[in-house]
Structure 1
Amino acid sequence: MNIQKFNSNRFYILSLLCLSVFMLSCEKKAHTVHINDSLTAKATLIYNDAFENDLDDWKVEQMPEGKVEIKDGKLEITDVAGCTIWQKMSFRGPIMIEYDVVVIDNGGPQDRVSDLNCFWMAIDPENSNNIFENSEKRGGKFSNYDTLRLYYMGVGGHYNTKTRFRRYVGDGNRPLLPEHDYTDPDFLLTPNKPYKIKIIAFDGIIQYYRNDILMVDFFDKNPYQSGHFGFRTVNNHMTVDNFKVYQLSATKK
């Protein structure tokens, strides 16, 4: 056999194998998501943090005496007076955010079962290109976030008596619709229970799931299309793992 031809064929076969492996890898990262009865979307993974190394991708804003650290392969938050842990990347929709979380109650000083909260699609209208311009000024104090434009979900607030969804408009107003003020025990927190959170922002469709249970299904006529995600809590002890962000694109049913 001609050696040059053999090497050429071998290179071609190896190239096909590499391409196949690449395509299989991409397929694993993309899957179909059911959003509602008339909409499904292809979800392609664009960011993933398993919290195995450091917090270089995150910006911590925290009141004194609290701690945010990587411990045992998870993000562990031990907070006293309030904190927000921002993802430094700004994501443009449509997107889906997923993560695993446990609110801890093992008798520790901050083991208060309350406030499994988060922000998403957040910007600072005063500094639309840099949400961190006023980071030190906010410092983790909850009221200092009122002037941001964002979506907010507060699960088990007020000592685990209320769950609320709000759309902050960016001027200090945080309207609360009656249908987004929950007190049903099924919408509150159980200590030490693993929760999988899923958030969808698909144009005007804003959804929040916990363990595949749809808790918020809101249509925004003027949706926020891009911004930062942040974990938010106060006087709480919890762990977070497997944070993922997916780009969504509509598919035909």
Structure 2
Amino acid sequence: MMLRLTTLFFAGLLAACSPGSRWIFESEGGSVTFAERGDTIEIVAPEGLTLWLSEPLSGDYRICYDATVVIGEGPHDRLADLNCFWAASDPEHPDDFFARSAWRGGTFAAYNSLDLLYVGYGGNDNTTTRFRKYHGKRFGAPADEVKPLLGEYTDAEHLLRPNRPLHIEITVADKKTTFSADGEVLFSRELAPGEGDGYFGLRLLANHTLIANFTVERL
């Protein structure tokens, strides 16, 4: 298989990972490694990193992928933070989602400025898996107002395991959204009309991750 390897040096800038790529990066900095090998992408992120799908999604859809947090001898191999955003939009720039991309710069607190849904799988050093709804118009308010907690797991069955693929499915359909892992629905929420529309992003933090079989299906 052909391997396309890109090493990117960031200072909080917006960039496409490679010509013609479907991904757009926002990174806190450092040397991000992005390798495409067949249906798998390998990402090494030394700091906070968001990979946005370059086109927004709307209507009913399903996102599927297999994600593995790699634990070996690498300097950024860390078992934590296999996270994602979906239905993301910027209330300050409803017609240009990437207008404040450089300002966000991959810094986690800056995403409080967006409207979105979020699952932090293996967050807080792999002690929690949490579901939140972000309300960007409340940016600057206390965190529990901006992004209230809608659900949480702390048991080992719902946390990350080293080098173990996790099949993720995110569905927006029938006026609700669901997040599933290995066939189990972990989180579900009713949606207002249009609330599921927006951008999808992989959110990583100081780790080494494989993403395979990424698909978006219109329902």
Whichever structure has more strand as a proportion of its residues is 2
Of 81, 88, 105 in structure 2, the residue corresponding to residue 122 of structure 1 is: 88
* Code of the aligned partner of 1:228: Y
| Alignment check: 8 A CA contact 1:59 1:88 kept | yes
Of 19, 28, 33 in structure 2, the residue corresponding to residue 63 of structure 1 is: 28
Change (3 A) 1:68 1:126: farther
1:191 aligns with 2:157: no
1:238 aligns with 2:209: yes
**Distance in 1 between residues matched to 2:99 and 2:215, nearest whole Å:** 25
* RMSD between aligned residues: 1.8
Segments of 4+ moved more than 3 angstroms: 51-55, 220-223
Aligned identity (percent) is 37
* Code of the aligned partner of 2:199: H
Of 137, 140, 144 in structure 1, the residue corresponding to residue 106 of structure 2 is: 140
| Alignment check: 8 A CA contact 2:61 2:217 kept | yes
Q: Which ranges of structure 2 fall in alignment gaps of 5 or more residues? A: 5-17, 140-145
1:72 aligns with 2:37: yes
What's the counterpart of residue 213 of structure 1?
184
**Distance in 2 between residues matched to 1:126 and 1:217, nearest whole Å:** 27
Could you list the per-position Cα deviations for residues 205-226 of structure 1 after superposition, in whole angstroms to 9, with x for gaps in the alignment?
Answer: 1111111111112223566131
**Distance in 1 between residues matched to 2:108 and 2:29, nearest whole Å:** 13
**Distance in 2 between residues matched to 1:225 and 1:217, nearest whole Å:** 12
- Give the aligned length: 196
What's the counterpart of residue 157 of structure 1?
123
1:201 aligns with 2:165: no
TM normalised by structure 2 equals 0.84
The SS at the match of 1:158 is: helix
* Code of the aligned partner of 1:211: D
The SS at the match of 1:134 is: helix
**Distance in 2 between residues matched to 1:204 and 1:52, nearest whole Å:** 40
TM normalised by structure 1 equals 0.73
**Distance in 1 between residues matched to 2:31 and 2:159, nearest whole Å:** 24
Displacement of 1:203 in angstroms is 4.3
